[in-house]
């Protein structure tokens, strides 16, 4: 069913001004710091069932697995003897925890062996198993990795034996979805179709009667949060825990592709449309409520204390979007992928690579009340560290999203600067993309070897006009086919003005407010750049916006400078009768993903505005 597939991330070497540096920082800092935290907190030592006597937690295995997956990707990108040693040591620890029947979970094996599979709703066993499977697939072809792969195939065999419709099996579904997509990866890597069938069981049986979670005593709200109140094929809205939802939908999309199941693919498309058109922040963040980390209702997209937009959820949305593009070829999925990647994902990690947001607020002021793991300041770690560990595996594989390939076609999904050698049916294509995208819309593509293929370029949804040249000759369509000679060039110029955005009036918190976007980047007013508190500024969208270089941010970062009014009150008091006086001011906006990298500061994406009368 797939039109395209994603290339191996190792086939794409990033050289752009944003993703390349973020990936390098991940290799240099994010992964080593996460390894250190896993040791410091006992997460990796918890697999030592005989000698570790400290705290354990039901979700720790998933943290270790995600770091290990990131290590595997890092070792694929570059050799590192120290990291290779850690890789093999961690695999040894994990495998030593495996029980005789194949069960592999550090918490239940050590703390509650008699309670194995007793609470699928809340105890994360299948979720942890899924992340271990993904790590095993990533590790398989590296020195020492086969040992982990074999162990996780044994664990998968046990899960297949345990759960299903057979007489010797029990019905069961993962409370926190993830294993569905992991089992499909395991099937693709092993060739064992049993794992695909198990993923299909978890997906197709989910939400059917009698309800497994209800039998465990789960309340109706829990069933909704676990996306289990109805069969998945009857779902029409994204509901419940946002990360779990997009992991489930990604697994459904994978199954639809593997089984050529158009009905299931249609459900995935409808659910994605519900997210993108009614339940997604302008930054690509999803999951609007801190309570339950969940989707709530259409247009419920608060900007401050009550919002969530978890970093993991944005990463999950990217993974879902690329799957749906590869199966349908519809570029609207790439538009959302790009928005979430450059804004909702990158905002969650500092430029230093070792500090994180769990909640990605769109407005921070002195009175912000933070809930759960929310904070207006990035943190070094969280007791629930799903977001820091997710970055280890996500940033290392960003090259996977730049292109999609078919037998004789290459889709340039995100035209950032890179060097790539992509495998098509009849051979390899070497491409080099030059430019400063996403800060500049001028993109140059060089074909570096003689070959025959079709090059498909995406015209983003935000681009109103564009110009395309092939070897200096104007082209009217962004689909270029034929025999290519080494050295041929394609030049794409995407018009990229700064634009003011206005939201649907049903998003009541944005009434009378505007946001700034240039290209795929959403901008924010950070107080450190302003001459007055952000809350006192009123931007003037009818006035010109100037491109300037941002101060104290990476060289080449484009900031936006425009006109504003500053609202000044002379009267004190919580409520006042005197009108404020407005005086001319200037605002400076920086890419939202870069805010709070220069010290603690207030910030706002949706700002008050005043138009000319």
Domain co-membership, 447 together with 373: no
pLDDT of residue 318: 98
Residue 246 buriedness (CB in 10 A; 0-12 / 13-18 / 19+): buried
Q: What is the SS3 assignment for 408?
A: coil
84 and 186 share one domain: yes
Q: How far apart are CA 514 and CA 542, in angstroms?
A: 12
Residues 452 and 585 in one domain: no
Same domain for 326 and 446? Answer: no
Which of 399, 418, 433 delimits the end of a domain? 399
Residue 344: partners with Cβ closer than 8 Å, 6 or more residues away: 281, 283, 284, 285, 286, 309, 311, 314, 317, 360
pLDDT recorded at residue 517:
98
Hunting for tokens 């993923």 — which residue is that?
199
Q: How far apart are CA 120 and CA 215, in angstroms?
A: 11
Domain count, the chain: 4
Same domain, 172 and 307: no
Mean pLDDT per 10-residue interval, the chain, length 613 residues = 92 98 98 98 97 95 98 97 98 98 98 96 97 98 98 98 96 97 98 98 97 90 89 97 98 98 98 98 96 94 92 98 98 98 98 96 88 80 94 98 97 98 96 98 98 97 98 98 97 98 97 98 98 97 98 98 96 92 97 96 97 81
174, part of any domain:
yes
Q: If 0-12 CB within 10 Å is exposed, 13-18 middle and 19+ buried, where does residue 236 land?
A: exposed
Cα(461)–Cα(496) distance, rounded to whole angstroms?
Answer: 11
Whether 360 is in a domain gets the answer: yes
Collect all residues with Cβ–Cβ distance below 8 Å to 85 and sequence separation of at least 6. Answer: none
Any idea what DSSP says for residue 580?
P
Residue 528 confidence (pLDDT)? 97
pLDDT, position 2: 81
Residues 169 and 94 in one domain: yes
Same domain, 141 and 188: yes
Instruction: Tell me the C-alpha distance between 84 and 144, whole Å.
Output: 9
Does residue 312 lie in a domain region?
A: yes
Domain boundary among 365, 399, 433: 399
Where on the phi/psi map is residue 530: left (φ > 0), alpha (ψ -120 to 50), or beta?
Answer: beta
- Whether residue 349 is contained in a domain is answered as yes
- Asked if residue 527 is part of any domain, the answer here is yes
Full-model pTM: 0.97
Q: Are residues 250 and 212 in the same domain?
A: no
| HSE toward the beta carbon, residue 75, CA cutoff 13 A | 24
- Residue 285 domain flag: yes
d(CA 11, CA 430): 10
Q: Shortest CA distance to 336 belongs to which of 345, 237, 327, 18?
A: 345
Cα(551)–Cα(529) distance, rounded to whole angstroms? Answer: 8
Q: Which pLDDT belongs to residue 367? A: 82
| 307 plus 393 within the same structural domain | yes
- DSSP state at residue 286: B
Question: In sequence order, which residues have a C-beta less than 8 Å from that of residue 171 and are 6 or more positions away?
Answer: 163, 164, 165, 205, 212
Which one, of 498, 504, 533, lies nearest residue 516 by Cα?
A: 498
Q: Is residue 78 part of a domain?
A: yes
> Distance (Å, rounded) from C-alpha 435 to C-alpha 308?
34
Q: In the prediction, which pLDDT does 372 show? A: 63
CA dist 587 and 607 (Å) reads 11
Beta bridge partners of 560: 547, 589
Contact 308, 373 (CB under 8 A): no
Last-in-domain residue among 450, 466, 494: 494
Are residue 239 and residue 318 in the same domain, yes or no?
A: yes
490 with 507, same domain: the answer is no
What number of other Cβ atoms are within 10 A of residue 612's Cβ?
7
Secondary structure class of 483 (helix, strand, coil): strand
Query: Structural domain of residue 277, as residue ranges?
Result: 235-399
Q: Are residues 430 and 381 in the same domain?
A: no
Residue 417 lies in a domain: yes
Cβ density class 443-462: b for 16+ within 10 Å, e for less: bbbbbbeebebbbbbbebeb
């Amino acid at each position: 069913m797939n039109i395209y597939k994603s290339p191996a991330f190792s086939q794409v070497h990033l050289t752009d001004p944003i993703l390349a540096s973020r990936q390098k920082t991940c290799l240099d800092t994010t992964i080593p710091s996460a390894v250190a935290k896993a040791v410091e907190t006992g997460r990796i030592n918890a697999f030592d069932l005989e000698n570790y006597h400290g705290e354990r937690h039901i979700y720790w295995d998933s943290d270790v697995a995600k770091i290990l997956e990131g290590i595997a990707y890092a070792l694929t990108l570059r050799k590192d003897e120290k990291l290779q040693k850690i890789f093999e040591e961690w695999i040894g620890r994990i495998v030593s925890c495996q029980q005789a029947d194949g069960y592999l979970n550090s918490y239940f094996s050590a703390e509650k062996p008699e309670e194995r599979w007793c609470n699928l709703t809340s105890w994360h066993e299948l979720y942890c198993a899924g992340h271990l499977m993904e790590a095993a697939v990533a590790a398989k072809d590296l020195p020492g990795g086969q040992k982990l792969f074999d162990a996780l195939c044994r664990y998968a065999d046990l899960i297949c034996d345990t759960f299903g419709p057979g007489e010797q099996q029990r019905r069961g579904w993962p409370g926190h979805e993830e294993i569905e997509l992991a089992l499909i990866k395991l099937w693709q890597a092993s060739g064992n179709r049993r794992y695909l069938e198990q993923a299909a069981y978890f997906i197709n049986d989910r939400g059917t009667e009698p309800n497994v979670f209800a039998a465990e005593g789960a309340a109706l709200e829990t069933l909704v949060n676990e996306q289990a109140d109805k069969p998945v094929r009857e779902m029409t809205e994204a509901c419940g825990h946002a990360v779990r939802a997009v992991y489930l939908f990604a697994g459904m999309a994978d199954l639809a592709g593997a089984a050529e199941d158009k009905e299931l693919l249609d459900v995935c498309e409808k659910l994605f449309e519900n997210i993108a058109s009614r339940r997604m922040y302008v930054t690509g963040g999803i999951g609007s409520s801190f309570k339950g980390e969940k989707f709530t209702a259409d247009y419920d997209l608060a900007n401050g204390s009550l919002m969530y937009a978890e970093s993991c959820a944005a990463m999950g949305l990217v993974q879902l979007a690329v799957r749906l593009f590869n199966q349908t070829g519809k570029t609207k999925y790439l538009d959302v992928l790009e928005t979430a990647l450059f804004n909702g994902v990158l905002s969650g990690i500092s430029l230093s690579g070792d500090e994180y947001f769990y909640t990605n607020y769109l407005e921070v002021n002195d009175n912000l009340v933070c809930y759960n793991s929310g904070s207006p300041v990035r943190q070094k770690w969280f007791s629930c560290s799903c977001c820091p560990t997710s970055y280890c595996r996500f940033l290392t594989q960003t090259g996977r999203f730049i292109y999609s390939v078919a037998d004789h076609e290459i889709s340039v999904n995100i035209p950032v600067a890179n060097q790539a050698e992509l495998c098509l049916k009849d051979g390899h294509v070497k491409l080099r993309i030059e430019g400063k995208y996403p800060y500049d819309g001028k993109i140059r593509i060089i074909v570096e070897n003689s070959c025959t293929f079709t090059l498909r370029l995406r015209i983003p949804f935000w681009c109103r006009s564009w110009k395309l040249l092939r070897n200096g000759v104007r082209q009217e369509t962004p689909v270029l086919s034929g025999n290519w000679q080494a050295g041929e060039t394609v030049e794409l110029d995407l018009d990229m003005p700064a634009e003011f955005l206005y939201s649907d009036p049903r998003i009541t918190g944005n009434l009378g407010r505007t946001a700034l976007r240039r290209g795929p980047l959403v901008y924010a007013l950070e107080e450190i750049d302003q001459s007055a508190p952000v809350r006192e500024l009123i931007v003037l969208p009818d006035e010109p916006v100037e491109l300037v270089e941002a101060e104290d941010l990476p060289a080449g970062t484009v900031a936006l400078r425009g006109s504003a009014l500053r609202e000044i009150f002379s009267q004190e008091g919580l409520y006042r009768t005197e009108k404020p006086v407005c005086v001319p001011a200037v605002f400076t906006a920086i890419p939202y993903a870069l805010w709070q990298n220069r010290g603690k500061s207030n910030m706002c994406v949706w700002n008050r505005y005043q138009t000319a009368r």
